[in-house]
């Protein structure tokens, strides 16, 4: 059993899941916005990092990690809501290029402002979990307390979002507003409020993601720290289907594991090539996403 | 009661409604008839606030609806079943009904049970996606979803569209029973004039945005000119 748990393949799966949950969270927050407002939020990573700076850099460095994380989540809610009200709202019904340019612009502005205020040097967060791998019979297992924390936190966030959408009155309205805005208004759903809430939720999920990424001792918090993660999360969302939260999360996890195997068995430089290859193949075979399905009519 | 007073609506340079006035009393069905493009759908969309009028007002009893948001007009008890029914295909039958109940007070299970009693087929299919329903079942779902919030005004846009004659007849009967039982104000937009006139007490006939007749349903049905020129009812 011990030999199995420390074997090369199991290590790759575990390591892959630890990074896969991060891609899954990024993909989820992109899907939340795409479903409601048909926009790709290219500033997602920068917004998440900005919220994280508010939680971890404005407060005194001695502040409890969990307090800082809670502040970052609240900052994410506020930043997401404000972005929708002030910027995004002006882009509805405009040509598709407008939101793309606006979101890339927001990305550059937020990263520059963060760099100007907090500098570009990496800032370590006081992570409450060790990143040293556990040992089994003096052999390292590719799993650390920090990786478990990352995986568990991500799964909890996904479960909360899923439960909110599936079982609450707010979730029902959020889904209805995304699927049929005019009909929803006729039933009393305040659709424009739902769009704001969608951006708030998405940015809050992003804030948790950025806190997890920055909590890793080796990366720390930097203004552009989410750029690479965002790219892989975006690929996960595109493969899984931008309309499918489940698809985004599953393909995020799968990407993490595939990348780990590629990095281990081939070469870590090949990961980005494999990622692009998977994206191209999936867009050729299932352009609307692997997990997107349209309801079949049975009369 | 719905009172439409001197209502004009335009889409850019195109005048869709021109000084439209009529009253739809409670407990009665008012049929709004006319050919394609007469402005029937625009009239309903203006009543429920989806379209802003150029001038004129819409009132429900003593309350002015004009200028209010759709979301608030619904909360005043005006339910609008739009053209094409507006059933959310990706939702289950029950999710559609839960959405309709969102603005209502009271117990959801009771309200659901009441609708399932009125439309038994919806109860049988409560967990099915609405996409799997037939046209008639979708129309029932759209009606149930509007009724579950206990509205006092029901705006129906072409409920018979795409339904078989027998299903249409049943549906019309159901609308009449509901209207009498709940003393609803029903504004029924129809291209199918004969089936609408069979259940309506009053009728308003529109021709390119202008009211050409506003009378009892019987009088409209018996007017040879109206039947021939505006309603396309040839014996």
B89-114 pLDDT, tens digit per residue, is 999 999 999 999 999 999 999 999 99
Please tell me the distance in Å from B16's CA to the nearest CA on chain A: 20
Count of domains for chain B: 2
Count of domains for chain A: 1
Residue at which a domain ends, from B96, B126, B150: B150
- Whether residue A172 and residue B129 make contact (CB cut-off 8 A), yes or no, is no
Which of left, alpha, beta for A40 (phi over 0: left; psi -120 to 50: alpha)? beta
* pLDDT range class, residue B224, cuts 50, 70, 90: confident
Please tell me the distance in Å from A170's CA to the nearest CA on chain B: 10
Q: Which residues from B are below 8 Å from A175, CB to CB? A: 90-91
A113 touches chain B (CB under 8 A): no
Q: DSSP string of A77-93?
A: HHHHHHHHHHTGGGGTT
A255 touches chain B (CB under 8 A): no
Asked if B93 and B206 sit in the same domain, the reply is: no
Max distance between CA atoms of chain A, in angstroms, equals 65
* Domain assignment present for A266: no
- Whether residue B132 and residue A173 make contact (CB cut-off 8 A), yes or no, is no
* pLDDT range class, residue A297, cuts 50, 70, 90: very low
Asked if B57 and B2 sit in the same domain, the reply is: yes
B48 touches chain A (CB under 8 A): yes
Q: Give the torsion through C-alpha atoms of B100, A247, A237, A260, to 10 deg.
A: 150
Asked if B56 and B161 sit in the same domain, the reply is: yes
Please tell me the distance in Å from B195's CA to the nearest CA on chain A: 25
Q: Which residues from A are below 8 Å from B162, CB to CB? A: none
B-contacting residues in A 126-185 (Cβ below 8 Å): 169, 172-173, 175-176, 179-180, 182-185
Cα atoms in the 13 Å half-sphere on the side-chain side of A5 = 12
Instruction: Give per-residue pLDDT as tens, A129-173.
Output: 888 888 877 787 778 899 999 999 999 999 999 999 999 999 999
Q: By residue range, what is the domain housing residue B43?
A: 1-77+151-235
B160 touches chain A (CB under 8 A): no
d(CA A277, CA A260): 16
**Least confident range of A85-99, A122-136, B56-70, B190-204:** A122-136
Q: Residue A211 CA to chain centroid, in angstroms?
A: 11
**Least confident range of A98-102, A243-247, B128-132, B212-216:** A243-247
Residue with tokens 């709940």: B182
Please tell me the distance in Å from B10's CA to the nearest CA on chain A: 20
Q: DSSP state, B22? A: E
- Whether residue B70 and residue A186 make contact (CB cut-off 8 A), yes or no, is yes
**Higher-confidence residue: A3 or A264?**
A264
Q: Is the pLDDT of residue A288 over 90?
A: no
Q: Which residues from A are below 8 Å from B95, CB to CB? A: 172
* Domain assignment present for A132: no
- Whether residue B102 and residue A172 make contact (CB cut-off 8 A), yes or no, is yes
* pLDDT range class, residue A3, cuts 50, 70, 90: confident
* CB proximity list for A88: less than 8 A, separation 6 or greater: A37, A39, A99, A102, A195, A199
B68 touches chain A (CB under 8 A): no
Residues A88 and A60: beta-carbon distance below 8 Å: no
Please tell me the distance in Å from A167's CA to the nearest CA on chain B: 10
Q: For B69-96, give one letter per residue: b (16+ CB within 10 A) or e.
A: ebbebbeebbbbbbbebbbbbbbbbbbb
Asked if B10 and B68 sit in the same domain, the reply is: yes
Query: What six digits make up the tokens of A228?
Result: 């690479």
* Domain assignment present for A192: yes
Q: What is the predicted pLDDT for the residue at B234?
A: 57
Which one of B69, B74, B87, B102 makes the best mutation probe of the A interface by having the most chain A beta carbons within 10 Å?
B102
Asked if B184 and B227 sit in the same domain, the reply is: yes
**Least confident range of A149-163, A193-207, B1-15, B157-171:** B157-171
CATH of the domain at B218: 3.40.50.300
Q: By residue range, what is the domain housing residue A188?
A: 22-121+145-222
d(CA A245, CA A35): 9
Residue at which a domain ends, from B150, B179, B201: B150
- Whether residue B91 and residue A175 make contact (CB cut-off 8 A), yes or no, is yes
Q: DSSP string of B49-62?
A: TSS--SEEEEEETT
Residue with tokens 């900005």: A50
When CB atoms are compared, the residue of A176, A189, A299 closest to B134 is A299
* pLDDT range class, residue A1, cuts 50, 70, 90: low
Please tell me the distance in Å from B220's CA to the nearest CA on chain A: 31
- Whether residue A186 and residue B74 make contact (CB cut-off 8 A), yes or no, is yes
Query: What six digits make up the tokens of A161?
Result: 């979002």
Asked if B188 and B225 sit in the same domain, the reply is: yes
* CB proximity list for B124: less than 8 A, separation 6 or greater: none
When CB atoms are compared, the residue of A173, A183, A295 closest to B82 is A183
Instruction: Compute the count of residue pairs across chains A and B with CB atoms less than 8 Å apart.
Output: 70
The complex's ipTM works out to: 0.93
Q: DSSP string of A233-273?
A: HHHHHHHH-TT-HHHHHHHHHHHHHHHHHIIIII-GGGHHH
Please tell me the distance in Å from B146's CA to the nearest CA on chain A: 8
- Whether residue A186 and residue B91 make contact (CB cut-off 8 A), yes or no, is no
Q: What is the mean pLDDT of the segment spanning B174-203?
A: 91
Q: SS3 for B25?
A: coil
Asked if B91 and B72 sit in the same domain, the reply is: no
Q: Which residues from B are below 8 Å from A176, CB to CB? A: 88, 91, 99
% of chain B at pLDDT higher than 70: 99
Which one of B46, B49, B51, B70 makes the best mutation probe of the A interface by having the most chain A beta carbons within 10 Å?
B70
Q: DSSP state, A134? A: P
Asked if B2 and B58 sit in the same domain, the reply is: yes
Asked if B4 and B18 sit in the same domain, the reply is: yes
Which pTM value belongs to this model? Answer: 0.88
B121 touches chain A (CB under 8 A): no
Residue at which a domain ends, from B101, B125, B150: B150
Q: Which residues from B are below 8 Å from A192, CB to CB? A: none
Asked if B159 and B233 sit in the same domain, the reply is: yes
Residues B235 and B222: beta-carbon distance below 8 Å: no
Q: What is the predicted pLDDT for the residue at A68?
A: 93
B125 touches chain A (CB under 8 A): no
Which one of A165, A170, A185, A187 makes the best mutation probe of the B interface by having the most chain B beta carbons within 10 Å?
A187
Residues B144 and B133: beta-carbon distance below 8 Å: no
Element of type H or E holding A170: helix A169-179
Residue B128's nearest CA partner among A132, A119, A296 is A296
Q: What is the predicted pLDDT for the residue at B232?
A: 72
Residues A201 and A158: beta-carbon distance below 8 Å: no
Q: What is the predicted pLDDT for the residue at A99?
A: 92
């Amino acid at each position: 059993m011990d030999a199995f748990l420390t074997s090369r393949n199991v290590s790759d799966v575990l390591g892959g899941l630890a990074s896969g949950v991060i891609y899954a969270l990024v993909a989820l927050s992109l899907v939340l916005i795409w479903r409601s407002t048909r926009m790709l939020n290219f500033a997602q990573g920068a917004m998440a990092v900005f919220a994280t700076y508010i939680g971890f850099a404005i407060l005194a460095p001695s502040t409890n990690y969990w307090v800082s994380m809670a502040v970052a989540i609240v900052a994410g809610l506020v930043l997401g809501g404000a972005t929708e009200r002030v910027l995004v709202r002006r882009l509805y019904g405009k040509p598709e290029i407008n939101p793309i340019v606006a979101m890339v612009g927001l990305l550059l502005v937020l990263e520059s402002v963060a760099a100007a205020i907090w500098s570009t040097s990496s800032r370590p967060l006081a992570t409450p979990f060790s990143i040293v791998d556990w040992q089994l019979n003096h052999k390292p297992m590719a799993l650390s307390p920090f990786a478990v924390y990352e995986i568990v936190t991500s799964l909890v966030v996904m479960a909360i979002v899923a439960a909110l959408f599936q079982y609450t009155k707010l979730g029902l309205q959020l889904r209805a507003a995304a699927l049929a805005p005019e009909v929803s208004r006729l039933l009393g759903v305040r659709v424009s409020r739902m769009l704001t809430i969608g951006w708030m939720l998405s940015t809050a999920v992003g804030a948790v993601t950025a806190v997890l990424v920055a909590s890793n001792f080796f990366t720390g918090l930097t203004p552009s720290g989410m750029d690479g993660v965002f790219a892989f999360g975006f690929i996960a969302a595109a493969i899984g289907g931008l309309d499918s939260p489940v698809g985004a999360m599953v393909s995020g996890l799968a990407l993490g594991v595939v990348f780990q195997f590629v990095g281990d068995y081939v070469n870590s430089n090949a990961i980005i090539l494999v990622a692009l290859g998977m994206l191209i193949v999936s867009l050729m075979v299932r352009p609307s996403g692997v997990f997107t399905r349209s309801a079949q009519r049975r009369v | 009661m719905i009172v439409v007073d001197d209502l004009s609506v335009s889409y850019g340079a195109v005048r869709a409604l021109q000084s439209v006035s009529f009253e739809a009393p409670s407990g009665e069905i008012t049929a709004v008839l006319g050919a394609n493009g007469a402005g029937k759908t625009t009239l309903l969309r203006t009543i429920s606030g989806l379209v802003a009028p150029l001038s004129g007002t819409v009132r429900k009893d003593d309350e002015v609806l004009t200028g209010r948001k759709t979301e608030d007009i619904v909360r005043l008890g005006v339910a609008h079943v739009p053209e094409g029914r507006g059933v959310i295909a990706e939702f289950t039958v029950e999710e559609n009904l839960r959405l309709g109940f969102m603005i209502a007070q009271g117990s959801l299970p009771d309200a659901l049970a009441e609708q399932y009693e009125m439309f038994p087929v919806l109860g049988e299919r409560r967990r099915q996606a609405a996409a799997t329903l037939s046209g008639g079942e979708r129309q029932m779902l759209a009606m149930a979803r509007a009724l579950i919030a206990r509205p006092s005004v029901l705006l129906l846009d072409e409920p018979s569209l795409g339904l078989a004659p027998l299903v249409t007849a049943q549906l019309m009967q159901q609308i009449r029973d509901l209207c009498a039982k709940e003393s609803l104000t029903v504004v029924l937009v129809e291209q199918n004039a004969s089936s609408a006139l069979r259940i309506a007490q009053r009728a308003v006939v529109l021709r390119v945005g202008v009211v050409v007749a506003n009378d009892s349903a019987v009088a409209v049905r018996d007017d040879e000119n109206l039947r021939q020129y505006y309603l396309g009812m040839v014996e």
